[in-house]
Structure 1
Amino acid sequence: MEEEMREALMREEKKESNGSDDGQPWMVYFSTFVAVCGSYEFGACTGYSSPVQDAIIKDLNLTLSEYSLFGSILTFGAMIGAITSGPIADFIGRKGAMRMSSASCIAGWLVIYFSKGPWPLDIGRLATGYGMGVFSYVVPVFVAEIAPTDLRGRLTTLNQFMIATAASMSYILGTVISWRALALAGLVPCAILLFGLFFIPESPRWLAKIGRENDFLASLQKLRGKNADISDEAQEIQDYITTLDGLPKPKLLELFQTRYLRSLTIGIGLMVCQQFGGINGICFYVSSIFELAGFPSSIGNVTYAILQIVITGIGASLIDKAGRKPLLLVSGSGLTVACTITAIAFYFKVHEVFLEAVPTLAATGLLIFPINIKGRAGSIATLTNWFGAWLCSYTFNFLMSWSYYGTFFVYAAINALTVLFIIVVVPETTGRSLEQLQASINK
């Protein structure tokens, strides 16, 4: 009996000490902060095209189709980044992939800043898109791999919070500074990230995967604190890596086998639902939507930006309490309602019904929009995400030319299907380690 009590006390002590010397995993927080500077860069890239549209078109004498290409080519670059993101992150590590992404974004912003015509502008936008595509994969993977189970939800949600914050800041800054100055502002998060990478450890799970056992243990110890007992967590990671090593390495077509099919379906399905719901069209061209609805674009941009930060912050604070699946359902339902309201607003305008209500309805619809596997599978899912983003952002202006309200009714229908997909297919992940989650999905 005494021995059982002693073991229980030891287990409790492990739980209390697991994380860091004083119960606060400061290195996990610091490493997350450095990594999500990549997420901020992501948001800066996506938010750039909306507030500068009129200024760039005027300064460089661009046509609407030329500017649509400039806005959407970002996501084409991100598709290229998505194809290479998994192999790069597996080959040179998560930190190496983030360094490469930063370099691509820095080069892209400088080209945009010095652009005198559409071609340099597009090349710069393509380069920032490539960096974005890699960031979109490697940042959440890195954060998930360094975080303890009880913090993983909140810390990975910081990725979305930083994207929303950066996009919102771009909307706000774009109303007061020139488009060239806004391009230079995109260099700041990259500089912070590159500097911070010198002080944070590499992902312990990646180090374990490539067989660098001493580095793996040192990294995990640094993340959890020098006095933390990491034996149980290290053993769980090692056991999972050993199990993976015993499995055949899947080729591209083999990813569609039954054992991997559910993971792939969830990953690709969520990406398709997210992008075809219209969010990138909204983010890229929110200024022009407000103008079309007769709502002051400067006021709309700032209000939209502030609400995105608030909504994403609330989501980040609730994710571990409410769970990811309920928040996905709330987000999908909100998108459906938002698109429907905006569609009704434009329907009224086109048919000259309740014209005095159109600006308010359109603004209401837009302002409640939330911003919402690894290796080859991760690349496929990320590629799907960015292909959808490119298709949405490129076709948005053309769809609006076809029908203002029809565009948003289409988006509303897609978002309604998203809610159904989440209910039927997507599992809850709260409270599970990465290894437990993968085991439950692929069993």
Structure 2
Amino acid sequence: MEDSKFSSPLLFKGNSDSHGGSSGERSSSGGGDAGKLRESGASSATSMVVLSTLVAVSGSYVFGSAVGYSSPAQSGIMDGLGLTVAEYSLFGSILTIGAMIGAVVSGRIADYTGRRSAMGISEIFCILGWLIIALSKVAWWLDIGRLLVGCGMGLLSYVVPVYIAEITPKNLRGGFTTVHQLMICCGVSLTYLIGAFLNWRVLAMIGVIPCFVQFLGLFFITESPRWLAKIGHMKQSEVALQRLRGENADISQEAAEIRDYTKTLQNLSEAGILDLFQWRYSHSLIVGVGLMILQQFGGVNGIAFYASSIFISAGFLGSVGMIAMVAVQIPMTTLGVLLMDKSGRRPLLLTSASGTCLGCFLVGLSFVLQDLKEWKEITPILALVGVLVYTGSFSLGMGGIPWVIMSEIFPVNMKGSAGSLVTLVSWLGSWIISYAFNFLMDWSSSGTFFIFSCICGFTVLFVTKLVPETKGRTLEEVQASMNPYLTQE
């Protein structure tokens, strides 16, 4: 979904979390004020971190605006260009195909060109795509534009959270990385709102604005120190780290950790897709891929794409339901951002998964009562409450945390291949659910939501048994605990 402070989650000298002993010695030996200054610089959000975050999540907003575009633009495009339902369905769904293409190459591009360059490449795709859509006269030009935007989205969905995680101090990493999901929600919601008043061509042109914001902003932010270290530019890595932490911050310990960990990984070959399936990487791979599968197969895209029809089939006014969803989604995502580095990843994931399980169960129950013709006055309200509980709970944790954890658990030597695979799995799951949802609803509305509820319930068990808590730990500590074979070598 990856900004400056995100890229160095290592411990710094003077940061008292895991190495409090040395920090304490330094303070007690007469360097108290300097130690406090160093600790403050290491744990606070510097202006460079904030700027880098804002630039990176401009790409997340692009992601959200692309997802939200097809709904408000549908009637205008179909009337203006004379598209059939099938032709417009192709236009809407080809975005996901493009995202899968972008996901396949995302890790390699980010590893070979750098995190900043990868974001710049993605925005070139998005700018071209939006302009083609805005100027289209025939259906196939629309599809080409939408495909290009999708390719940019697939790349952004990987590189943004990875960049943020790599530049942020450990005590801020979770919250900053989750801003990626918050901006996606804002992009979707504001595009819905703006699209209600503007022509579809104007709406596409507006989509270009955040693309240019990020593209131009990339010239003012620093590259990820970890990526610079990975390619052997140690001096540049330390310069970038100093910019991120502030000129008065002591970065010696964090820089040393990055340097030592990079040297360890240099003894290992760059992991390809097939290399990911070695036993040494099994825990990271199971957690990363598993969370993405459970996130998508819990029904999020089916509910998000067809929420209006769900409300209507349950006997509720669709437009009111959609407004209520937007009103719940952004505040709950914001709450998740604020709690990420306080409560931790696991408690938020467990709460979120439990809430989505309950929400799907309530919607399924409303359809059962509707079929039985019982409590007719209550079933629409029950469906609304269920969807809102699901939406709020998903926004709290399951929407953003899998991307945070994905950016934290893979070693640098396999992050490109693993990130591409995990992102591809996410987009493939998204396409499967969005494609199959209407068929499932035709089969059984209540059964569909009870299946989603069971999957969300299984997510609780998965998180309990397999997902590590990464709050307050450096990336090196997280990766060493999940991949002990690497440090042994």
Q: TM-score range by the shorter chain?
A: over 0.9
Partner deviation per Cα, 1:355-381 (whole Å, 9 max, x = no partner): 333332222222221231311011111
What's the CA shift for 1:206? Answer: 0.5
Partner deviation per Cα, 1:166-202 (whole Å, 9 max, x = no partner): 2222232233333333322322211110111111011
Look up the equivalent residue of 2:107 and give its one-letter code: G
Q: Distance in 2 between matches of 1:123 and 1:43?
A: 19
Alpha-carbon contact 1:74-1:128 (below 8 Å) kept: yes
Q: Distance in 2 between matches of 1:428 and 1:437?
A: 9
Partner deviation per Cα, 1:17-49 (whole Å, 9 max, x = no partner): 246499651111111111011111111122223
Q: Match of 1:245? A: 266
Q: 1:229 to 1:286 in 2, by over 3 A?
A: same
102-111 or 395-404: bigger deviation:
395-404
Q: 1:89 to 1:129 in 2, by over 3 A?
A: same
Q: Which runs of 5+ in 2 are unaligned?
A: 1-23, 400-409, 485-489
Partner deviation per Cα, 1:239-259 (whole Å, 9 max, x = no partner): 110010012333322211111
Q: Match of 1:347? A: 368
Q: 1:96 to 1:298 in 2, by over 3 A?
A: same
Alpha-carbon contact 1:172-1:302 (below 8 Å) kept: no
1:404 to 435, 439, 445: 445
Q: Distance in 1 between matches of 2:276 and 2:310?
A: 40
**Are 1:314 and 2:335 an aligned pair?**
yes
**Are 1:200 and 2:231 an aligned pair?**
no
Q: 1:273 to 1:24 in 2, by over 3 A?
A: closer
Q: Match of 1:275? A: 296
What's the CA shift for 1:351? Answer: 4.3
Q: What secondary structure is seen at the aligned counterpart in 2 of 1:49? A: helix
Look up the equivalent residue of 1:400 and give its one-letter code: M
Q: 1:256 to 1:384 in 2, by over 3 A?
A: same
Q: Distance in 1 between matches of 2:80 and 2:216?
A: 35
Q: Distance in 2 between matches of 1:413 and 1:64?
A: 33
Q: Distance in 2 between matches of 1:190 and 1:250?
A: 32
**Are 1:27 and 2:68 an aligned pair?**
no
355-364 or 422-431: bigger deviation:
355-364
142-151 or 286-295: bigger deviation:
286-295
Q: Distance in 2 between matches of 1:157 and 1:325?
A: 14
318-327 or 50-59: bigger deviation:
50-59
1:17 to 22, 38, 52: 38
What's the CA shift for 1:78? Answer: 1.0
Look up the equivalent residue of 2:250 and give its one-letter code: D
**Are 1:157 and 2:178 an aligned pair?**
yes
44-53 or 240-249: bigger deviation:
44-53
1:433 to 470, 474, 486: 474
153-162 or 281-290: bigger deviation:
281-290
Look up the equivalent residue of 1:105 and give its one-letter code: C
Q: Distance in 2 between matches of 1:263 and 1:21?
A: 28
2:422 to 355, 378, 381: 381
Q: Match of 1:187? A: 208
1:82 to 88, 97, 103: 103
* Runs of 4+ deviating beyond 6 Å: none
What's the CA shift for 1:408? Answer: 1.6
Q: Mapping of 1:230-309 within 5 angstroms?
A: 230-309=251-330
Alpha-carbon contact 2:42-2:169 (below 8 Å) kept: no
Alpha-carbon contact 1:68-1:397 (below 8 Å) kept: no
Q: Match of 2:6? A: none
178-187 or 236-245: bigger deviation:
178-187
Alpha-carbon contact 1:273-1:418 (below 8 Å) kept: yes
**Are 1:166 and 2:187 an aligned pair?**
yes
Alpha-carbon contact 1:172-1:305 (below 8 Å) kept: no
Q: Distance in 2 between matches of 1:146 and 1:205?
A: 8
Q: Match of 2:388? A: 367
Number of matched residues? 440
What's the CA shift for 1:282? Answer: 1.9
What's the CA shift for 1:161? Answer: 1.1
Q: What secondary structure is seen at the aligned counterpart in 1 of 2:232? A: coil
What's the CA shift for 1:413? Answer: 1.6
Look up the equivalent residue of 1:246 and give its one-letter code: N
225-234 or 177-186: bigger deviation:
177-186
1:73 to 94, 97, 107: 94
Look up the equivalent residue of 1:258 and give its one-letter code: W
What's the CA shift for 1:7? Answer: 6.2
Q: 1:308 to 1:101 in 2, by over 3 A?
A: same
Q: Which runs of 5+ in 1 are unaligned?
A: none
Q: Match of 1:358? A: 379
Q: Match of 1:414? A: 455
Alpha-carbon contact 2:43-2:172 (below 8 Å) kept: no
Look up the equivalent residue of 1:96 and give its one-letter code: S
Q: TM-score, normalised by structure 1?
A: 0.93
Q: Distance in 1 between matches of 2:197 and 2:137?
A: 21
Q: Match of 1:140? A: 161
What's the CA shift for 1:216? Answer: 1.0
350-359 or 320-329: bigger deviation:
350-359
Partner deviation per Cα, 1:389-425 (whole Å, 9 max, x = no partner): 1111122223223332222222112111111111111
Alpha-carbon contact 1:20-1:26 (below 8 Å) kept: no
Q: 1:398 to 1:39 in 2, by over 3 A?
A: same
Q: Match of 2:464? A: 423
Q: What secondary structure is seen at the aligned counterpart in 1 of 2:221? A: coil
